[in-house]
Amino acid sequence: MNFFKRKKSFQAASPKSKNLSEWLSALSDGNEDFMEEIIETPYGNIKICYYTTLIDHQRLNVDFLQPLKTTPWRTYKDIQRNIYVDDTAVTNDIPTTNERLLQGFAACQLPDRKEEVLLINAPADVQREVSIPETEFSVIGPQEAFVEKLETNIFLIRKRLPIEDLRIRKLKIGTLSSTETAVFYIDGIADQENVNTIIQRLKEVNFDDVLGANALAQMIQDHSYTVFPQFVNTERPDRVAASLAEGKVVFMSNGSPQAIIGPSTLVELFSSLEDYYLPWHIASFVRMLRLFSVGFSILATPVYVAVLTYHYEMIPKDLLSTLIASRSNIPFPPLIEALFLEFTIELLREAGARLPTKVGQTIGIVGGIVIGQASVEAGLTSNILLIVVALAALASFTTPVYQMGNTVRIIRFPFIVMSAMFGAIGIALMLAFVIAHLIRLESLGRPYLAPFYPLRFTDWKDTFVRLPYNMFQQRPQQMRPKSKARKKASKTQKNKDIDE
Amino acid sequence: MHSKVKEQFQVSPPMVFFLIHAMQVGVGMLGFQRIVAKYSGYDSWIAVLIAGVLISILISMMYFVLKTNHNDIIEIHRNLFGKWAGGVLSLIIILYFYALGILVIRTYIEVIQVWVFEDMPTWILALLAGYFFYYVIEGGFRTVTGLCVAGVFIPSILFFVLLMPLQYADFLNFLPVWKHSVKNILLGARETTLTYLGFELLLLFYPFIKDGQRSQKWAQLGHWASVFVYTLLMFVTLSFFSEGQLDMTIWPTLTLLKVIEFPFIERFEYLGISLWLIIVIPNIAMAFWGASRGVKRLFSIKQRYVIIVMMIVMVFILPPLDNRQAVNTLNDIISQIGFWVIVAYITFIYIVQFIVQKIGRKRSS
């Protein structure tokens, strides 16, 4: 039964030779960027090997070779004491050496100590500057976003939460990429069950090349067959800090500038961090506007299709004449008309996203004005539908979390098809289906539709509206935080009569 | 065979409010006024209230039986009547629930066919419904409960809209109060009882409530919310229609919706019927959930298989029931069975349980 046998997975570190120095010299065979050289110093010769591409040469020269040539030494210990590099280690273990070399360490070897090497940390540092957030821009609030380098990101988070209870657990994921992944949580607030779940699932990921945090989020999510994102993904350190303070668990991967926050609920995917920077009335207004616009974005075109296909009696007679006038020349049924326009808008959006910014703007103008106007004049679509579709597209851009925006974008199509088949009943059925689906969804085993179902009225303070901060006495129940109170209730404010 | 429901599948006591309320408000609400008014005329609202009190008593009877047993009706039957007699009784209850689900779905399809799509074939809707309810029930009791919550909240706008016909109301209709005989009002109350049906599913989902004993107040509250809605709707209907006109209107609620006009939308009943789907879905889902759960408890078959079979059978049962006559007959039959099964049977089981407990107490002392 060999046929069913699993193929052996690729092993990254498979040292064939047992001897360390033999193994080192063998490395340069296939890797042309692997260097092996003998350095001559007044106190003796020393062999040094490293991947030239992974090493910061200036640092190696200044911090290692200079002191080596000027100060006397005899053993590894002397060298460690003399050089200006902190992160050093003496080892005889081949896998460790291999791993370190690939992280940007240099290995040096004394001629009389063949079985051991001294590892010196001098990694080349290619790094983007911390820049302003692009997908989650906010008008007020901090203007910094995560970068690709994990250390920098940890620094950004640590700076916002300077407490020792902020715990960071590091894991290596991916048999080929061995992506460094860090899990963040605040000990004493976060529910340990959530932390365990996320670490457990991350450990179980058995994939060769893990592309980063977003790919990992898809690998560990509760339901893979849904269009709804089950984690919030953010590029803002302030959002991560706020989520950690609520008792959530966050993970980030080296190489991707996004943090994944879980467990998340549907409402969080529609909340932007700016809601917390603005005064609460304005924040609530904006949030309701956003939720309304999501509903509008999903339902506007289906309602148009349903009403014009089946329920034209629903249109008041004053509006009916305008509608008839705009549709009288159109040869298609409303479904084709709507699909055509929706498709065009999606096309423009995709083209705009793929092209460089400056060209993208041109595409927007060409698409928005020329195609829209031309298709109306050519009698392919009615201008009322054009308004509806354009507004729906605009409304879908208001979702602050990019993944959720995509969901809103895609979920409209089954609605349109159902509305063309069963009219208003079809829309209602589809709505019921989405509700049932959302009720069934979970994020890290926690209900996705909370606090609406299960009903937790105390958590409603931060859903449709964002109430003032003095209502935020407690952390959301959804996370089952270990310590519930967010602030100490001040007694002075209570029960004061007029003029007291 | 004592099986306790794991806590992760249970719902909190306040959810009973939604479960009871969502089950009671359903397709019945579209057309109960005519049938009640046939007996009690303009005094029908009194009949609705009397039936409300009656059902409230039945709910506390049910709680008495359930509390003493701490289990669902299948187990109670087995305890009280033994394996065979109890099994037969359970089977009747299960069949009743299944038929209730079929009835509700068929009535709703009829409404669609009469009011929205005249030539919509039943089998398409049956097929869609079959898949949908399989998906819902596969999610377990918590999903069904979630739909009940959604089914109470989302269509609640309709409730306010239904008050709008009051601008044409003639309140003199109600005077003099109580002009019908007691007998007629009680007959009206009997008919109203049927629209309140659905709460009896409590007999099956009781073990799914965390702290079941403490949930009675929520059940009563849910029931009285239904009584409030029904009474108010009856009030609006009676003030709007004349007795003769009401007698000829099969779905007075939909006719009421038809009257409503907004500057941006006419023929409001299309929207109403579509939104009614959200009200009707928990009804059907609960009934099918109850039936399949009953089979699982009775025969120890996996509920997943039971519900698949039930849905397939439904898809074949629905299309032949294709005219008003058939639907009406089905309605009458199930209503009669429902009345006897629920009103008489709950009282019966209450008395039996009461006697058994008395005897048990005497023996122990």
Q: How would DSSP label each residue in A267-330?
A: GGGG--THHHHS-HHHHHHHHHHHHHHHHHHHHHHHHHHHHHHT-GGGS-HHHHHHHHHHHTT-
Task: State which residue of chain A sits closest to B18, comparing Cα positions.
Answer: A455
Same structural domain, A99 and A72: yes
Task: State the pTM of this model.
Answer: 0.88
Q: 10 Å Cβ neighbour count for A420? A: 21
Q: Can you state the angle between helices B268-299 and B15-24, rounded to 10 degrees?
A: 110
Show residues of chain B in contact with A427, CB under 8 Å: 274
pLDDT over threshold 60, residue A71: yes
The answer to whether the beta carbons of residues A327 and A382 sit under 8 Å apart is yes
Show residues of chain A in contact with B267, CB under 8 Å: 311, 313-314
Secondary structure letter of residue A9 according to DSSP: P
Domain-embedded: residue A4: no
Q: What is the mean pLDDT of chain A?
A: 86
Same structural domain, A39 and A107: yes
| Measured distance CA(A98)–CA(A23) in Å, rounded | 10
| Measured distance CA(A84)–CA(A139) in Å, rounded | 44
Domain-embedded: residue A235: yes
The answer to whether the beta carbons of residues A207 and A175 sit under 8 Å apart is yes
Higher per-residue confidence, A357 vs B155: B155
The answer to whether the beta carbons of residues A298 and A478 sit under 8 Å apart is no
- Chain A nearest-CA distance from B308, in A, is 18
pLDDT over threshold 60, residue A413: yes
- Chain B nearest-CA distance from A264, in A, is 18
Q: Note the pLDDT of residue A489.
A: 64
Q: Note the pLDDT of residue B286.
A: 93
Handedness of CA B322, B324, B326, B327 (dihedral sign): positive
Residues contacting residue A361 through CB under 8 Å, at least 6 positions apart: none
Q: Which of B113, B131, B149 is best to mutate for the A interface (most A CBs within 10 A)?
A: B149
Secondary structure letter of residue A368 according to DSSP: I
Task: State which residue of chain A sits closest to B119, comparing Cα positions.
Answer: A422
pLDDT over threshold 90, residue A383: no
Same structural domain, A36 and A95: yes
Sheet holding A179-186, edge to edge: A166-173, A179-186, A249-253, A259-262, A232-234
Q: Do A439 and B142 touch (CB under 8 A)?
A: yes
Handedness of CA A150, A155, A158, A159 (dihedral sign): negative
Q: Do B275 and A428 touch (CB under 8 A)?
A: yes
Same structural domain, A88 and A185: no
| Measured distance CA(B27)–CA(B24) in Å, rounded | 9
Q: Note the pLDDT of residue A62.
A: 87
Q: Note the pLDDT of residue A490.
A: 63
Q: Note the pLDDT of residue A18.
A: 67
| Measured distance CA(B198)–CA(B286) in Å, rounded | 9
Secondary structure letter of residue A490 according to DSSP: P
Question: Which pLDDT band, with edges at 50, 70 and 90, does A16 fall under?
Answer: low
Q: For residue A439, with 0-12 CB atoms within 10 Å meaning exposed, 13-18 middle and 19 or more buried, which class applies?
A: buried
Domain-embedded: residue A52: yes
Same structural domain, A312 and A282: yes
Higher per-residue confidence, B194 vs A417: A417
Same structural domain, A113 and A219: no
Q: Do A436 and B14 touch (CB under 8 A)?
A: no
Q: Do B271 and A424 touch (CB under 8 A)?
A: yes
Last residue of a domain, one of A82, A105, A121: A121
Which stretches in chain B have pLDDT values below 50?
1-2
Domain-embedded: residue A299: yes
Last residue of a domain, one of A264, A284, A305: A264
| Measured distance CA(B157)–CA(B155) in Å, rounded | 5
Listing DSSP states for B97-133 in one string gives HHHHHHHHHHHHHHHHHHHT-TT--HHHHHHHHHHHH
Same structural domain, A305 and A335: yes
Q: 10 Å Cβ neighbour count for A295? A: 12
Q: Which residues does residue A55 pair with via DSSP β-bridges, in sequence order?
A: A123
> What percent of chain A stands above pLDDT 90?
30
pLDDT over threshold 50, residue A9: no
Q: Note the pLDDT of residue B228.
A: 93
Same structural domain, A117 and A156: no
Same structural domain, A82 and A154: no
Tell me the pairing of strands A166-173 and A179-186: antiparallel
Quote the tokens at residue B198.
């659905």
Q: Can you tell me the ipTM of this complex?
A: 0.92
| Measured distance CA(B145)–CA(B139) in Å, rounded | 10
In the three-class reduction of DSSP (H, G, I as helix; E, B as strand; rest coil), residue A221 is classed as coil
- Chain A nearest-CA distance from B127, in A, is 13
Q: Note the pLDDT of residue B2.
A: 47
Which of B146, B275, B277 lies nearest to residue A439, judging by beta carbons? B146
Question: Which pLDDT band, with edges at 50, 70 and 90, does A492 fall under?
Answer: low
Long-range Cβ contacts of A68-72 (<8 Å, 24+ apart): A68/A39, A68/A41, A69/A41, A69/A42, A72/A42, A72/A43
Q: Note the pLDDT of residue A352.
A: 78
Domain-embedded: residue A248: yes
Domain-embedded: residue A461: no
Q: Which of A193, A417, A439 is best to mutate for the B interface (most B CBs within 10 A)?
A: A439
The answer to whether the beta carbons of residues B206 and B212 sit under 8 Å apart is yes
The answer to whether the beta carbons of residues B93 and B297 sit under 8 Å apart is no
Number of domains in chain A: 3
Same structural domain, A336 and A430: yes
Scan for tokens 């990019």, then name that residue: A402
Q: Do A313 and B266 touch (CB under 8 A)?
A: yes
Last residue of a domain, one of A425, A446, A467: A446
Same structural domain, A305 and A406: yes
- Parent domain of A212: 150-264
Q: Note the pLDDT of residue A210.
A: 87
pLDDT single digits (tens) A194-243: 999 999 999 998 888 888 899 999 999 999 899 999 999 999 999 999 99
Size of interface A-B (CB pairs under 8 A): 87
- Domains belonging to chain B, first-starting first, are 7-354 (1.20.1740.10)
In the three-class reduction of DSSP (H, G, I as helix; E, B as strand; rest coil), residue A334 is classed as helix
Average pLDDT of the segment spanning A134-155: 89
Domain-embedded: residue A395: yes
pLDDT single digits (tens) B25-76: 888 888 888 888 888 888 888 999 999 999 999 999 999 988 888 888 888 8
Q: Note the pLDDT of residue B1.
A: 41
Secondary structure letter of residue A49 according to DSSP: E
Q: Which of A453, A463, A477, A480 is best to mutate for the B interface (most B CBs within 10 A)?
A: A453
Same structural domain, A59 and A81: yes
Q: Note the pLDDT of residue A174.
A: 87
Range among A27-41, A97-111, A382-396, B276-290 with highest mean pLDDT value: B276-290
Domain-embedded: residue A270: no
Show residues of chain A in contact with B274, CB under 8 Å: 424-425, 427-428
pLDDT over threshold 90, residue A284: yes
